[in-house]
Structure 1
Amino acid sequence: CDVTGDQLNCPRVREGPSEEELFLREGDDIHLERPSRRRRRREEEEGQRWEERLQENWENCLELNLSYQDLGDPYQQENFLRILRRLIRVEKLQLVNNSLTNLSSVRLPRCRVLNLHCNHLVCLRQLPKLPVVEHLCLSENAIGSLGGLGALGNSPLRSLNLTHNPVTFTQDYRAR
């Protein structure tokens, strides 16, 4: 109980939607409850979620491994992105094998090492904003061109791993 979020090695952040949300997604309406009771229950759940989020300590993480999260539901993906947006101090981040497709809404202002091995990124424009990244691993994605590489031009990038991406088959990709 005394462990905070910044001390976890690989926490599971893939909480799924509540039963009520799943039920509502199916297009069915809850006719059995009165609207005021539903509203009250929804407010209690939101209050509980807010308390849980306050207990999270994502802002103070310096090194974090959020690999293998198995993000199959859009709700889980949005929750995962919400957590990534809170990582304002992280310097080393592992996001291996999460089926990520677009991180362009995320900014990682202090991240020096980012590992996005084995995801579903198709272009460099889908990367998060990385002003100080030094080591970036994008191996085993679906990156087909170097378009968007200019966004990394101002960063002190030392290594970029693009192995097992379609872009590696283009002529002179290393020189570019």
Structure 2
Amino acid sequence: MTTGAPPSPYAARPRRSRLRRYLPLGLAGWLVLEIWLLTLVAGAAGGLSVLLLLIAGAVAGSLIIKRAGRRAFQNLNEALRRGGSPARGGANGLTMLGGLLLMIPGLVSDAVGLLLLLPPVQRAVSRRTENALERRLRKAAPGSLGDAFQQARTHRPDGRVVQGEVVREDRPGPGEQRPPLTR
């Protein structure tokens, strides 16, 4: 027999991460800022000019995404034709993200999208993102998703050796039969 009150179902609930806690608030603030800026520009320059600006941003963004996607596909085909592994697509990915931000209606997203199209900004963002990912993977606990991702990166183009495990099965020689799979 146990004594005392039953455990509360809320006691074992894990805490929400900062990202999950503040992302909805940040998105709502960004949306309010975009609408406020669009109304401010529409009041100063006219509604037609804002509409043309949004259409031009959507067209330019789609052309940028199309060009970056085509370049990434050509790089992949070229690398596979040479027999090597495909190069990282960091610049193409950031170019696509910049095009996507241009396609989203709004002035702040257009400004950030245009910034992501500049090569120095792409290099800086790519470097910071790679460093943050490396830190997270080093800090990953065994058995976590980060640990699985770390173990999956066995082939590195820079020649570094990543520890792993080789499982070799005994294979029958020529003329020998395999044992049956059923037991």
Q: What is the TM-score normalised by the length of structure 1? A: 0.29
- Larger helix share, 1 or 2: 2
Higher relative contact order (CA 8 A, sep 6+): 1
